[in-house]
Structure 1
Amino acid sequence: MSDAGPKGRTGRRDEAAFAITPPQIVGPFYPIRERPDLATNLARPMGSAAEAQGQLIYVRGRVLTPSGKPVPHALIEIWQANAAGKYRHPSDMNPAPVDPNFKGFARLTADASGCYSFRTIKPGRYPTAEGEIRPPHIHLTVEGRFDRLVTQLYFAGEAENLADRWLNAAPHPDRLIVNLQEPPSHLEKHAMVADFDIILASG
Structure 2
Amino acid sequence: MKRRAFIKTSVLGTVAGVFTGTVQAKMTTPSEVEGPFYPITPQKDQDADLTRVAGKEGIAKGEIIDVFGQVLDTDLKPVEGVTIDLWQANSFGKYHHPHDTNSAPVDKHFQAWAIMQSGAEGQFKFKTVIPGAYPLGRNQQRTPHIHFKIAKNGYVPLLTQMYFPNHQLNEQDGLFRRKSVAEQAMMTAKLVGKNNQYQYDIILEKV
TM over 0.5: yes
The correspondence for 1:67, drawn from 60, 70, 75, is 75
Matches within 5 A, 1:5-84: 14-18=21-25, 19-35=27-43, 37-84=45-92
Give the structure with higher Rg (CA): 2
- Aligned equivalent of 1:110: 118
Q: Which residue of 2 aligns with 1:176?
A: 187
Which structure features the higher share of helix residues? 2
Partner SS state of residue 33, structure 1: coil
Q: Verify the 8 A CA contact 2:29 2:186 in the aligned structure 1.
A: yes
Q: Distance in 1 between matches of 2:142 and 2:177?
A: 12
**Which residue matches 2:156?**
147
**Cα distance 1:170–1:144, how it changes in 2: closer, same or farther (>3 A)?**
farther
Q: Which residue of 2 aligns with 1:3?
A: none
Aligned residue for 1:166, secondary structure, equals helix
Report if aligned partners of 2:46, 2:111 keep a CA contact under 8 Å in 1: no
- 1:12-32 Cα deviation digits (max 9, x unpaired): 892244221000100001011
Pairwise CA RMSD of aligned residues? Answer: 2.0
Counterparts of 1:132 and 1:167, CA distance in 2: 14
Q: Unpaired runs of 5+ in structure 2?
A: 1-17
2:130 counterpart of 1:122 = yes
Shift of 1:68: 0.7
Cα pair distance change 1:87/1:75, threshold 3 Å: same
In structure 2, the partner of 1:166 is 175
Kept in 1, the 8 Å contact 2:190–2:200? The answer is no
Contact 1:58 1:118 in 2 (8 A): yes
User: How many positions carry a matched residue from both structures?
Assistant: 186
Question: Secondary structure in 2 aligned to 1:14?
Answer: helix
CA distance in 1, matches of 2:84, 2:104: 27
Amino acid at match of 1:15: T
| Contact residue 79 and residue 104 of structure 1 kept, 8 A | yes
Provide the C-alpha distance between the structure 2 equivalents of 1:139 and 1:124, rounded to a whole number of angstroms.
13
* 5+ long unaligned stretches in structure 1: 1-11, 184-190
Moved more, 140-149 or 59-68: 140-149
1:202, distance to aligned residue in structure 2 (A):
1.3
Corresponding residue for 2:12?
none
Give the partner amino acid of 2:168.
A
Distance 1:109 1:195 in 2: 17
Q: Give identity over the alignment, percent.
A: 35
